[in-house]
Structure formats: C-alpha cells, structure tokens
Amino acid sequence: MSTYRICLIEDDPIMGEALSDRFELEDYHCDWFKTGGAAILALGHTKYDIAICDIQLPDINGEDLFKQLKASEACLPHFIFTTGYGTIDRAVRLLKLGAQDYLTKPLDIHALLNTVQSLCSRSVCSVTRDTMLGVSAAMRHVEALLPRIAKNPTSVLITGESGVGKERLARALRSQYDPEHKMPFVTVNCGALTESLLEAELFGYAKGAFTGALREKRGLFELANGGTLFLDEIGEMSPAMQVKLLRAIQERQIVRVGAETPLHVDIRLICATHQDLKQMVEAGKFREDLYYRIHVIHLHIPPLRERKEDILWLTGNLLEDWNTQNSDLRTLSKPAEQSLLNYPWPGNIRELKHCLERSCILSQQTELSAELLFDDAPAPPEETYSTQESLSEYIQACEKKYINNCLRINDGHIAETAASLGISRKNLWEKMKKLGI
C-alpha cells in the first residue's frame, strides 16, 4: 500500500464507493467521508496528501468547508473539488483561495488519477500564494511539470515575452529540488553586460589578469557550485561567449580569465530568453550545438493577454502586498477590474505591477478607479455586445472561444485540454463537433 493518503469527501454512495475502490486499486490509502463535518474532524488530526471534495454536501457547502479550514491556518493537503454544476466563476474563485483543481462530473477518472499522481509528488503545504505561478490552465500545467523536471539535473530553457515572469518560474523550479534554499541560486542578465565583463562575471579572473585585477575573483559558475545558475536573456550572448559557455557546460569545468588551472563545477543550468532561439539558429546568430545543450526541457510562459484568468489573481496578490506594507489600504472598483481584463498588457506582469504601484501611490481614495490605473494612456474600452444574436448564440461563441484557447495552450492535446476544462475527452470531442472546431 502506498504511503500517500487521500481524503475523499463525497455524499453520493455510488460515486464515493467507485472512487474509493479505484484509489485502493491504484495503491493509495483512501478514507471516505460522506459529510463535511466528519471530514473536517479527520483533516484536523490526520495528515493527508490529497483531499477530493464535492461542492454539494448534505451539511456544508464544499467551498465554505475549504474557507473554514483555511481560516484555521492548518497545514492543508492539496484540494481538488468536484461538482455536477460547474461554473467558471466558481472554479476561478476556488483556485484563488488555493485549491489545486476543479473538475466537473461526470469525472474523467484518468484525468483525475493523473492530477492526483502529479500532486502527490509535491510536498504537502509547499504550495502557497508565493509559490503558485497562476490560476490559468496554462500556468497550472507548467506548475504541474516542475516536480518531474526537478528529479533530473538537466538543462531547462524558459521562453516568453519580457515581463511574463521567467525568473519567478526559475525560482519555483529551484524550490522544487531545494525547498529549504540551502544551495545557492545565482542569476545574471546576459544582455546587461559587455562580452569581456560577462566572461569575467561568469568565470572569474586571476590576480593581474588585466589592469585593475588587484586580486582574484570567483565567477558566478563557482558561486553557483552545488546549486543553480540562471542565465537570463541568453539570446543576447555573443558568438564568442557562446563557445566558452558550451565548453563549460560540456566539460563541467571553467577556467578563470588569466588563469590556467581548470576548476570543476557542478550546477543546474536554467536559461531564459524572450527571443526565438530556433529562428536565431537558422539565421546563424546562435550556435546550434549550444541550443540543443540548453534546450533539453522547454517551458514556455504565454503572455498575460492570453491568460486573462491570471490578471485579477495577480492584481489581488499585488494589492495584498501593498496593504500589508502600507496604512493606506487599496481595493479595485468593478470598472477598474474590467479595464484590467480588457487591456492587452504589452509589458505583461512587470507593466501590471508598475501600473498598480503608481495608482496606489497617487490615489486619494481607497478604491482605485479605471482612469487612475491608466493615467498615461486612455483606459481600455469596455466590452461591447451585439444585440443581433440570441443568448444561446452568444454562449456558444464564448464556449467556442474558450475551448480554442485551451486547445492552443495545450498544443492541441485532447486529453490535457479535457483535463484543464474539467470534462471527459468524449465530452470535449462532442463539444468540438457541435461548435465546428
């Protein structure tokens, strides 16, 4: 029997028995509770890895149960919610509260088992607001991959537009294999330094190596030894430096500038860029052999405009930080929320952070207005709706758009898309056929 324990909270006797039996067959230890009260008592004195909770319980709403447990400040297991009456609003609300997934019935048992297996590989209580990457399907998918990637000391390439949070993802990966942050995490922006300065920074230099080198200096490779070296904007690195970096990665050795003796280094390498390295390889601007060395695992972060579910979640986190550090509390008006969702955010999370910080400083009222948020640019227009289509046609258009977005995020994989939507693969195929996707 596996050491992983599952707390199943389900009042339907047929569903509860079926899930309980299946988990036992899959080698999990499963405790089944038919009421929220019984589950709360069990969660108070038993350490579970996963809690699978129905929303509609006979004595308490599943969402209220979760809020009650959160308020107790207890160390909770990973929570997955299930319901036969799913809504996007409720799903986003639960994910904001800290739930890990939200699935609608009839359940796709294979998708549920995959989610359980992925979450069990992550430390209980390790997922907090500070370690979450987002509530969108795209970021939850990336986050779910990190435990598997962390098991192997291989090179990782993170891509995405400027400001999407590539360093945050690198730090989240580091936290998976070094949760107590005992090993070093060293970062450098390759585009911020000239070739000669970057070489000295990466590899260090010997005393007298050049004018002004009055003492020897350890480079970032040495400082990161045993830990992680994060090379941001690696696409800006000169061809000559690419050769030296490739040699260091292949041989796991570096030589300080002006020295002769090689030094052994053992690091995890994470690289990031906003550029298309494959296109640069084809144009002869980036070495192909280096590209394949750093491109073993590829993680892509979509721009903020393609994962709008994360906008208000990030905004809430940023305002919470502001309210914690300042006596002038700030909230968002409904028009301001809508403006944030309508704006394309070319600067991504970095721009969102600056926008909120500026408006928090300048606002003379607690509630931030849309006009103040976009002080140096007109507020984005509110969404307009055509009155020429029926409600049914409008709902179908929204559903088609949302499914198309999920398919794009999951690279067209039906199983992964169905899992992110909380429906079965059969249900997804039927919807795609009906909507003409």
Last residue of a domain, one of 127, 157, 187: 127
Quote the pLDDT of residue 210: 78
Q: Is residue 276 part of a domain?
A: yes
Statement to judge: residues 218 and 334 lie in one domain: no
Statement to judge: residues 320 and 414 lie in one domain: no
Residue 147 structural domain: 143-300
Statement to judge: residues 163 and 290 lie in one domain: yes
| Cβ burial, residue 425 (10 Å; 0-12/13-18/19+) | middle
Which residue do the tokens 């509630």 mark? 367
**Segment 24-36 mean pLDDT:** 89
Question: DSSP string of 62-122?
Answer: HHHHHHHHHHTT----EEEEEESS--HHHHHHHHHHT-SEEEESSP-HHHHHHHHHHHHTS
User: Is residue 267 within 8 Å of 254, Cβ to Cβ?
Assistant: no
Q: Is residue 133 part of a domain?
A: no
Q: Write the CATH number for 99.
A: 3.40.50.2300
User: Is residue 372 within 8 Å of 362, Cβ to Cβ?
Assistant: yes
Q: Which tens digit of pLDDT belongs to each residue from 346-384? A: 999 999 999 999 999 988 889 988 888 876 555 555 555
Spatial distance between the Cα atoms of 88 and 102, rounded to a whole number of angstroms: 10
28 pLDDT band, cuts 50/70/90, is confident
Spatial distance between the Cα atoms of 334 and 169, rounded to a whole number of angstroms: 30
**Segment 247-258 mean pLDDT:** 91
Quote the pLDDT of residue 172: 92
Cα atoms found within 13 Å of the Cα of residue 432, Cβ hemisphere only: 18
Q: Write the CATH number for 428.
A: 1.10.10
Statement to judge: residues 258 and 342 lie in one domain: no
Question: DSSP string of 282-297?
Answer: HTTSS-HHHHHHH-SE
Q: Is residue 199 part of a domain?
A: yes
Question: Which segment, 134-143, 298-307, 390-399, is predicted with the most confidence on average?
Answer: 298-307
Statement to judge: residues 154 and 288 lie in one domain: yes
**Cα distance from N-terminal residue to C-terminal residue, the chain:** 43
Express as a percent the part of the chain with pLDDT over 70: 90
User: Is residue 65 within 8 Å of 94, Cβ to Cβ?
Assistant: no
Quote the pLDDT of residue 436: 76
Q: Write the CATH number for 196.
A: 3.40.50.300
Dihedral angle of Cα 403, 405, 411, 415, to the nearest 10 degrees:
-30
Spatial distance between the Cα atoms of 264 and 252, rounded to a whole number of angstroms: 6
Q: Biggest alpha carbon distance in the chain?
A: 79
Statement to judge: residues 176 and 93 lie in one domain: no
Statement to judge: residues 159 and 242 lie in one domain: yes
Cis, bond preceding 106 (omega within 30 deg of 0):
yes
Which residue do the tokens 């995020």 mark? 409
Q: Is residue 269 part of a domain?
A: yes
Q: Is residue 290 part of a domain?
A: yes
Tokens of 380: 């984005």
User: Is residue 57 within 8 Å of 15, Cβ to Cβ?
Assistant: no
Q: Is residue 266 part of a domain?
A: yes
Quote the pLDDT of residue 230: 96
| Cβ burial, residue 182 (10 Å; 0-12/13-18/19+) | exposed
Higher confidence at residue 87 or residue 51? 51
pLDDT over 70 at 86, yes or no: no
Statement to judge: residues 217 and 324 lie in one domain: no
169 pLDDT band, cuts 50/70/90, is very high
Statement to judge: residues 148 and 280 lie in one domain: yes
**Segment 129-141 mean pLDDT:** 76
Statement to judge: residues 294 and 316 lie in one domain: no
Statement to judge: residues 166 and 264 lie in one domain: yes
Spatial distance between the Cα atoms of 86 and 19, rounded to a whole number of angstroms: 19
Q: Is residue 426 part of a domain?
A: yes
Alpha helices in 178-271 (DSSP H): 195-203, 220-223, 239-251
Task: State pTM to two decimals.
Answer: 0.62
1 pLDDT band, cuts 50/70/90, is very low
Q: Is residue 294 part of a domain?
A: yes
CA distances from 202 to 249, 267, 310, 390 (A): 12, 13, 35, 62
Spatial distance between the Cα atoms of 281 and 156, rounded to a whole number of angstroms: 18
Least confident of 135-144, 184-193, 334-343: 135-144
Higher confidence at residue 168 or residue 73? 168
Alpha helices in 224-276 (DSSP H): 239-251
Q: Write the CATH number for 323.
A: 1.10.8.60
Tokens of 404: 């198309």
Spatial distance between the Cα atoms of 175 and 182, rounded to a whole number of angstroms: 10
Tally of domains within the chain: 4
Statement to judge: residues 396 and 316 lie in one domain: no
Express as a percent the part of the chain with pLDDT over 90: 36
Closest CA to 147 of 129, 174, 125: 174
